[in-house]
Each structure stands twice: as structure tokens, then as C-alpha cells.
Chains A and B, each alone.
Chain A
């Protein structure tokens, strides 16, 4: 099954896909921005400040999703002795890190009008900051170590440590008294968010997911060409 995912075989697809993904991303983002900034209603408590949710929440969701994927892929890379899993993980990390930073910065901007402060050391915000540190450590590991085996081991170790933080982020608002509000959207139970706000949020999430796919494809192609460059050196 993994042979289908071999870089030599999928490059034909991954090299052509970015332009189509970029086109789709621009369309979905444009629709999302109109929905988020113009068509969606203001909140009865937060007024127009609620619109920050349309960039803050998708960024947080995707950064958590990407970190979880990186962990699963890194562990799978070890179990199945498949280097391609590590290559996919490495290519996913930059967009995950940027989404994490976006979630922190937009959260901070949202905090000022709603809580009266740019920053608070509460459980949700601090655990998101810790996730950003794990992302940074993961990316630095790939930069500083030359030895492939060493990078695979250290980066996987970092993701295993970091994944412990993911459920803490998710449940921090339930376990501790925090400034951050509890989750408004639940997959298993009824969401407390109205559909007029839920749909723009989902459209923006789709746009952000497309952007991370775009960056992943470009980064993955770059990594494949890097490997092929080394191959040419050996000829």
C-alpha cells in the first residue's frame, strides 16, 4: 500500500496540484472573507469583535490538527521504516507553526476588547504557547542535524512529548477556570453557535485547510527536489 505513496510515483501529481489548490483557495477565501466581515451578524455581547473568531478558531484547529498528524506520521515512519512519512511530517510543520502563531496573535488582539488585556497566563493560552515552542523545536531539529537517523529519532521524540499537550489544550477550558470561553462547537453534542456564524466559520476553516495543503505540496516538492539534487551529486 505504501508503494503507492512513493515520492517517485506521486511527484507527477504533487508538482501539478499547487496551481489548482491555489485557485480553489483564493475562491474559498474570498467567499469566506465576505461572509466573515460583511454578511455574518455581530454578537449580542461582543458586537463586531466576534469577527476575529473567523481567523482565530480555524488557525487554532488546524495547528492542532497538523501537530497531531505530524506525531502519527513520525511514529508510523518508525514502525513501518518509511522515510516518506518523515518527509510528509517535515513538509507539514511550517504551515502548522504559522497557524499556531496566527492563533496566538489574533487571540491576543481579541483579548484586548473582550477581556481588557492583550495577554493572560491562563491555561488555554499558555498551553497554545507551549505548542508553538514544540513546533519551533521540531523545525529547529530538522535544521541543525545532518544525520538522517538522528533527525528522525529526535523529531519523533519531540512530537511524542508535544502531543501530551494537545488534550491539555483541548480540555484546559473545562479543567481549569480560565479567561478563555469553553468550546462552542461540539462534534458529539449540539453546538451552541448559531448557523449564521457557524457557516462562515466552516468556510474560513476550509480556506485555511486549503492554504495548509498548498504550502504542504510546495514544501514537499522542494524536499523531493533536494533529495534528487543530492542524487545528482552522487552520479
Chain B
């Protein structure tokens, strides 16, 4: 069966390169998107850390800000 999969009646080079290209594109897009997400998350945490108490309390009044911080600490 492995021979059949590797040979595919002579078409394996085409079939496996098409699947390989697809999976490589998926992996690249996933990694690029993940890196961008982590970068923005870290930027948010750093900016939040530089706020004074009054500013931090004001920012924390928005639920989304609290959730971003919670997500960042979970990761």
C-alpha cells in the first residue's frame, strides 16, 4: 500500500507536490497570523503596564481590555 501511495501510477510527484504546497501554505499562513497576534497582544500588555493607576482603572472598565489581559496571561 505504501508503494502504491508513493508511486500513484507515476503521478505521485504531481499529487504529493500539490498536497505538499497546500499544507505548506496552511502552515505558513497559520504561523504568520499567530506571530502577528502574539506581537499585538504583547504590545497591549506592555502598554497596559506603563499606565498609571487611574489610567489602568479606566482601561479596565472595558470588559474587552480585561479579556485581552486574561488571554495574554493564559498564553
Contact = CB atoms under 8 A, between A and B. Distances in A.
A229 B33 CA distance: 18
A202 to B, nearest CB: 17
B64 A229 contact: no
Nearest to A8: B64
A37 B33 contact: no
A235 B36 CA distance: 24
Given A232-B48, A235-B58, A59 B9 contact: no
A8 B63 contact: yes
Contact of A106 (B18, B33, B44, B68): B18
Interface string A46-58: 0111011001100
B62 A8 contact: yes
Interface size class of A (residues with CB under 8 A): 35 or more
B49 to A, nearest CB: 10
Given A214-B30, A225-B41, A109 B21 contact: yes
A38 B2 CA distance: 10
Interface string A155-194: 0000000000000000000000000000000000000000
B44 A48 contact: no
Interface residues of B, number: 39
A113 interface: yes
A29 to B, nearest CB: 9
Given A48-B9, A222-B37, A226-B40, A232 B18 contact: no
A30 to B, nearest CB: 12
B29 A51 contact: no
Contact of B15 (A12, A48, A59, A102): A48
Contacts of A31: none
A222 B18 contact: no
B40 A222 contact: yes
A94 B30 CA distance: 11
Given A8-B64, A218-B37, A37 B19 contact: yes
Interface in A108-132: 109-110, 112-113
A15 interface: yes
A98 interface: yes
Interface of A: 7-8, 11-12, 15, 33, 36-38, 42, 47-49, 51-52, 55-56, 59, 94-95, 98, 101-102, 105-106, 109-110, 112-113, 211, 214-215, 218-219, 221-222, 224-226, 228-229, 231-233, 235
Interface of B: 1, 5, 8-12, 14-15, 17-19, 21-22, 25-26, 29-30, 33-34, 36-37, 40-41, 43-44, 47-48, 51, 55, 58-59, 62-65, 67-68, 71
17 contacts: A12-B67, A47-B10, A48-B9, A48-B12, A49-B11, A49-B15, A51-B19, A52-B15, A56-B18, A95-B29, A109-B18, A218-B34, A225-B37, A228-B68, A229-B44, A231-B59, A232-B51
